[in-house]
Amino acid sequence: MNREEQTRVRVLNEVSQGSLTAAEAAGLLGMSVRQVRRLLAAYRTEGVAALAHGSRGRQPSHTIDQATRDRIVEGSKTAYAGCDQYHLTDVLVEREGISVSRSTVRRVLEAAGIRSSRCRRVTEHRQRRERYPQEGQLLQIDGSPHAWLEERGPRLCLILAVDDATGTVPAAHFRIQEDSHGNLLLLSQIVSTYGCPVAVYHDRHSIFIPPSAQKATVEEQLEGKQPMTQVSRVIAELGIGSISAHSPQTKERIERTSGILRVTFQDRLVAELRLAGVCSGKETMELGAGCPQDGSSC
């Protein structure tokens, strides 16, 4: 018996002997008089066993059985290695039929000594500009070179657009490297699906701004005779505003905004491509990543 049950036995014995009234016992035990009388009747009939909680020794109905725990731990070490806890929770439902919460997955893995694969960064306090108020007003375009196929295939570049207002990704596709053709395909995908955005925000890559534009005279700039790339010409003809980052600080905005999504892509997309067995640009195309048949985009 625990200490609380021992106290109840002592008080109930005194009530049975007439040393205490039911009302006095209720005050000592923090119960109602009616509850004290129920306990006393059960105590006289069943003895000390009547004071133990009815659920003692029983396994809770929502407890995860050991076999399921072992499957979660084994999956996190083998087929789903590298998946963070949120992704692992989704994959277990989709592929294993194990429907558990993210907190349950965390507790099971921590009990097995497995910590989250995602490192939590120290929050830096800085003043940031406000997001645009409406979806479609500003899209940030960037390329993310990464070993998306790990060791199974070539290193690819994920070209993506991030909506500044919502943080969503209206379009993204793979290329061997960031190039003009890839950015034109991205623009085509955005315009055909959602229409023209008000403006696009990008870095000062030669895809958008040719090196000769840096040497344009004031007269040429005023007359609008600055050299243009194929991508910048298409943007202008579509009536889309073009905003380029003029400093490392503004360039960092692009990296920071799309960087959050890169973590998600590099955590989840790499694992999903591995689970799907994708190892070439052709297979990526078959998964609907927007790759043309000539193999120049993957």
CATH of the domain at 275: 3.30.420.10
Do 282 and 142 belong together in one domain? yes
Q: Report strand pairing: 241-244 vs 199-202.
A: parallel
- In whole angstroms, give the CA distance from residue 200 to residue 240: 7
Alpha-carbon distances, residue 136 vs 44, 69, 129, 166, 193 (angstroms):
76, 45, 17, 9, 12
Q: What is the CA radius of gyration of the chain?
A: 32
Is there a domain that residue 9 lies in?
yes
What is the pTM for the complete model shown?
0.62
Is there a domain that residue 127 lies in?
no
Number of other residues whose CB lies within 10 A of the CB of residue 198 = 13
Do 34 and 72 belong together in one domain? no
Do 173 and 217 belong together in one domain? yes
| Domain count along the chain | 3
Give the pLDDT of residue 255: 57
Do 77 and 154 belong together in one domain? no
Alpha-carbon distances, residue 57 vs 60, 65, 178 (angstroms):
9, 16, 62
Is there a domain that residue 75 lies in?
yes
Domain residues for the domain of 233 are 138-286
Give the pLDDT of residue 221: 57
Do 13 and 151 belong together in one domain? no
Is there a domain that residue 12 lies in?
yes
Give the pLDDT of residue 290: 44
Do 150 and 241 belong together in one domain? yes
Give the pLDDT of residue 200: 92
Give the pLDDT of residue 239: 92
43-101: pLDDT as tens digits: 888 888 777 776 666 766 778 888 999 999 999 998 888 888 888 999 999 999 999 99
Is there a domain that residue 122 lies in?
no
- In whole angstroms, give the CA distance from residue 202 to residue 231: 12
Q: What DSSP line would sit under 70-123, residue for residue?
A: HHHHHHHHTTTTT--HHHHHHHIIIII-----HHHHHHHHHHTT---SSPPPPP
127-148: pLDDT as tens digits: 566 778 888 899 989 888 888 8
Beta bridge partners of residue 159, listed in sequence order:
143, 173
Do 153 and 16 belong together in one domain? no
Do 143 and 274 belong together in one domain? yes
Low-confidence ranges of the chain (pLDDT < 70): 54-57, 59-60, 117-129, 213-225, 246-264, 281-298
Do 94 and 200 belong together in one domain? no
